[in-house]
């Protein structure tokens, strides 16, 4: 019963933040986003895109959680025509605000301290968006986000386990990467459940324990 409850309690990690974003090959994109959010960059308009699991939605959620003056839009390819026009107008208004800020630095006017971070599943001109909006999105910085390699996922799991004070054998990591859904939230949630079950049973984490966990999950 305890083990079933552990499985039922498996949830994705807490609200995505910059701290729990696994960077991989996306360091430049993350750095630029942080500069834009902090008002420390001339470019305040950033568009990120990539396949499912590349981290774009994570970054958008992290931007929202950062509690700064920013507009964040995920899945821009799903916006209808009216929403695309609204986003186009938002972009233009923000450019005016930034120009106004540059002209009023002496007056400490911060009305233009803003950023627009947008994410989609393809490059701006490849999603069938309105031409005017696609052009605006391409004017700022554009980054293709890269999914994590297996080695990067393995390192992320090792680091996560270390932070929990958990011993995670390499063969368990390899089994997870071969047999589980390959998105990081699923992998981390499984490792968390393994850790809880190991603490409950006072037994070390092993591949047989993982198999037992996965089998029970199929039976629920």
Domain ranges of the chain: 2-8+148-219, 27-144
CATH of 27-144, one of 3.20.20.30, 3.30.465.10, 3.40.50.300, 3.40.50.970: 3.40.50.300
Query: Could you tell me where the beta strands, DSSP code E, fall in 121-216?
Result: 141-144
Under 8 Å between Cβ of 204 and 167 = yes
Cβ contacts of 93 within 8 Å, gap of 6 or more: none
- Where helices occur in 21-164 by DSSP H, the ranges are 27-37, 56-65, 81-103, 131-139, 150-163
SS3 48: strand
SS3 115: strand
Between 184-201 and 170-179, two packed helices, what is the crossing angle to 10 degrees?
130
**143 beta partners:** 48
Distance CA 162, CA 109 (A): 46
What pLDDT is recorded for position 106? 44
CATH number for region 2-8+148-219: 1.10.8
Distance CA 128, CA 177 (A): 35
**210 beta partners:** none
pTM listed for this prediction: 0.80
- Going residue by residue through the chain, which has 220 residues, state the pLDDT in tens, using 9 for 90 and above: 444 444 544 555 557 889 888 999 999 999 999 999 987 777 789 999 999 889 999 999 999 988 778 899 999 999 999 999 999 999 999 888 777 666 665 444 444 457 999 999 999 999 999 999 999 999 999 999 999 999 999 999 999 899 889 999 999 999 999 988 888 888 888 898 899 889 888 999 999 999 988 887 655 4
């Amino acid at each position: 019963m305890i083990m079933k409850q552990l499985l039922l309690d498996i949830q994705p990690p807490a609200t995505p933040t910059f701290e729990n974003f696994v960077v991989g090959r996306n360091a430049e994109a993350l750095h630029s986003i942080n500069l834009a959010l902090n008002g420390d960059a001339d470019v305040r308009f950033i568009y990120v895109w990539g396949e499912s699991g590349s981290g774009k939605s994570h970054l958008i959620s992290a931007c929202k959680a950062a509690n700064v003056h920013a507009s964040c839009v995920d899945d821009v390819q799903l916006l209808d025509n009216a929403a695309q026009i609204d986003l186009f107008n938002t972009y233009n208004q923000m450019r005016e605000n930034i120009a106004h800020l540059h002209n009023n630095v002496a007056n400490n006017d911060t009305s233009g301290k803003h950023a627009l971070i947008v994410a989609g599943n393809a490059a701006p001109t490849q999603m069938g968006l309105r031409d005017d909006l696609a052009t605006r999105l391409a004017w700022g910085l554009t980054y293709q986000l890269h999914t994590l390699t297996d080695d990067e996922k393995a390192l992320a799991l090792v680091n996560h386990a270390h932070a929990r004070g958990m011993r995670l054998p390499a063969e368990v990591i390899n089994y997870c990467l071969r047999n589980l859904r390959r998105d990081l939230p699923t992998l981390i949630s499984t490792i968390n459940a393994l850790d809880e079950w190991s603490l409950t049973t006072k037994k070390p984490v092993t591949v047989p324990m993982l198999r037992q966990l996965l089998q029970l999950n199929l039976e629920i």
